[in-house]
Structure formats: C-alpha cells, structure tokens
Structure 1
Amino acid sequence: MRRITLWLVSTVAVVVLLFSYRTSTMGAAAPNTPGVVAAAPGVVPNGPVPGSSAGSSGPSGATVVNGTVAQTRWGPVQVRVTISGSRITDVVALQVPNGNRRDREINGYAVPALHDEVLQAQSANIDSVSGATVTSDGYRRSLQAALDAAHFGS
C-alpha cells in the first residue's frame, strides 16, 4: 500500500510539472508590435541601399525590393534585397522575431548566416540555420517573394 501511494504521488507531481513547463517567456510576437512597421512589399522606387545613410539612392542599375512579411510561429520576418544586374548584392532583414532574449540571441547568429547563404547561392534556395528553422523558413519565404517581385531568375 505504501508503494502505491508513493507511486501515485510521484506520478501526479511529474504530470503537474510537465503541464506547468513553459518553453518561451514571451511566446509569439504580436503582429501589431509597437515600433515595428512592415515595409511595403515590392520594388522600392529610388530605394535606399541597405546599410547606407538614410535617404540615399541605390547605385545606378540596382533594384531594391522588399519581400512580403512572412508571419511565423515566433513573429514576423521580412527582408529587403538589392539586385544589381543579374546578381543579388545585398539582403537585409527588416523584421525578425524579437519577443524575448532568446529570439534576439538566435537571430544574432542566424541572420548573418542566412545573408551569407543568399549571396553565395544567388537565390532563395538556401539551407536553414540549425536552431533557427522557423526564422530561416520565414526569411526564405520573404526573400522568394522579393525575388519574384523583381522578376529575378525568370
């Protein structure tokens, strides 16, 4: 009888602990997060070159295109791609999930890795970053939308 009681109490304790476990402190970022404004998707007329001073135009012949906002499980992802001639010359993440410290930590290494992958592959056919699968998928979807809007590769 004593063993049964001990087993029952232990089982209840484990079940309570499992149901109370939280995997994220903030959950998914709300689509209407204050201070985060989605850039309009499509070609940016006289668009700024990512990484340059505000208000400057892209180099002659360069096309700057915003991808659509990809809503992911952890928050929105949007990229801006710069295409010069028949090459992707830059990709900037306009939005990434940032609801908590872990999101910022993951994106701190994932976004530069995704950037390098795009420049190497010259397409949206890139590998996901380990540990950042959700962000990688959103990045890829937004990038493909931008490349489609620019008629890149077609």
Structure 2
Amino acid sequence: MDGERHGAARMRRITLWIVSTIAAVVLLFSYRTSLGGQAPSPVAGAAAPGIVPSPPAEPRSTRSTGSTRSTGSTVNGTVAQTRWGPVQVQVTINNGRITEVRTLLRPSGNDRDDEINGYALPRLRAEALAAQSARIDAVSGATVTSGGYVESLQAALDAAHVG
C-alpha cells in the first residue's frame, strides 16, 4: 500500500516536471527578440505623412488644398505603430486612380519579420491596386502588419481626397 502511494506521488511529480518543461520551451520559442523587451521608440527616417512634392523633392511635406482626382500626386500615409513595428505606405494617384503603392516602413529586425513581409506586402499591394481603396483583406499569418498597412493606406487616401 505504501509503495502504491509513493508510485502515484512519483508519477505526479514526473507529470508536473514534463508539463513545466513543455511550458518553458513554448515560452522560450514565442519570445520576440526584435522588441528587446522595450516599447517601440519613435521611428527615425519615417517619411512625413501628406502629399509629397514633385521632383525636385523638397525635404518638407506639403498639404493639398484641392482634389487630386484630375492630377497626379504621391502621398505618404501616416506611420501605423503595430505591436511588431511601424508600417507606412506611399500611394501614387493619377487621374483619381491608385497607380502605385510603395511600402516605406515595415516591421523588421529578424528573419521571421522578413519572411512574413516577403509574402504579405506584395499581396497587400496587389489587393490595394485591384480594389482602388483601402478596403482589402488581411493576409493570413500577417494580420498585424496587414492592419498597419490598411491604416497607413487609408490615411494616404484621405490626405489625397481619394477613396
């Protein structure tokens, strides 16, 4: 009888040890080293939101006072701060149509971010060009970056008085 109690207690300890080890391994692999445990700082090198001057480019940004539907313009969206890093896009509009979307800022800092953005950003660009608006679907596996992309894209379209 005494041996059975010790055997059951030993099994509980072994089970607890295995569960604890698995939990520690899961936590270790889910830790994001690109954040370094600190909140994101203001983004250096981010392009100012608003309409970008035509070449020759001036270092300051300008605001549009009228519609861009009949002329061409390039507009930077705001920097969307996501939990994985900043996202900012630049939109080129000609005759009221989105003709180009460039990513100015994206989450980076590790191979996983680069892998995700390598497939997500081209899909988001293609969807924005096809939809001619910011009403696009998020890319599976890149939901956070997709949200930042849509936020910056909508800000650029709002600044350009389009869509």
Structure 2: tracts of 5 or more residues without a match: 1-5, 57-69
Q: How many positions carry a matched residue from both structures?
A: 141
Following TM superposition, by how much is the alpha carbon of 1:10 offset from its aligned partner in structure 2, in angstroms?
2.6
Following TM superposition, by how much is the alpha carbon of 1:96 offset from its aligned partner in structure 2, in angstroms?
0.6
* Larger Cα-atom Rg: 2
Paired residue for 2:20? 15
Following TM superposition, by how much is the alpha carbon of 1:131 offset from its aligned partner in structure 2, in angstroms?
0.6
Distance 1:17 1:129, change over 3 A: same
% of aligned pairs identical? 54
- Quick check: 2:71–2:96 contact (8 Å CA) kept in 1? no
Question: Which consecutive segments of 4 or more residues in structure 1 shift more than 6 A?
Answer: none
Q: Partners in 1 of 2:31 and 2:106 — Cα distance?
A: 16
Cα deviation digits, residues 126-151 of structure 1 (max 9, x gap): 00001110100000000000011111
Q: Are 1:28 and 2:35 matched, yes or no?
A: yes
Q: Partners in 1 of 2:87 and 2:55 — Cα distance?
A: 20
Letter of the structure 2 residue corresponding to residue 22 of structure 1: F
Paired residue for 2:88? 78
Of Structure 1 and Structure 2, the greater helix share is in 2
Cα deviation digits, residues 77-119 of structure 1 (max 9, x gap): 0000000011000000001101210000010010000000000
Paired residue for 1:41? 49
Q: Partners in 2 of 1:105 and 1:79 — Cα distance?
A: 19
Pick one of 68, 83, 100 that aligns with 2:110: 100
Pick one of 4, 10, 23 that aligns with 1:5: 10
Structure 1: tracts of 5 or more residues without a match: 49-59
Distance 1:98 1:120, change over 3 A: same
Following TM superposition, by how much is the alpha carbon of 1:18 offset from its aligned partner in structure 2, in angstroms?
1.1
Following TM superposition, by how much is the alpha carbon of 1:16 offset from its aligned partner in structure 2, in angstroms?
4.3
Letter of the structure 2 residue corresponding to residue 114 of structure 1: L
Following TM superposition, by how much is the alpha carbon of 1:9 offset from its aligned partner in structure 2, in angstroms?
3.2
Q: Partners in 2 of 1:70 and 1:114 — Cα distance?
A: 15
Following TM superposition, by how much is the alpha carbon of 1:37 offset from its aligned partner in structure 2, in angstroms?
1.1
Pick one of 72, 75, 81 that aligns with 1:62: 72
Query: What is the TM-score of this pair, normalised by structure 2?
Result: 0.78
- Quick check: 1:43–1:66 contact (8 Å CA) kept in 2? yes
Q: Partners in 2 of 1:127 and 1:97 — Cα distance?
A: 19
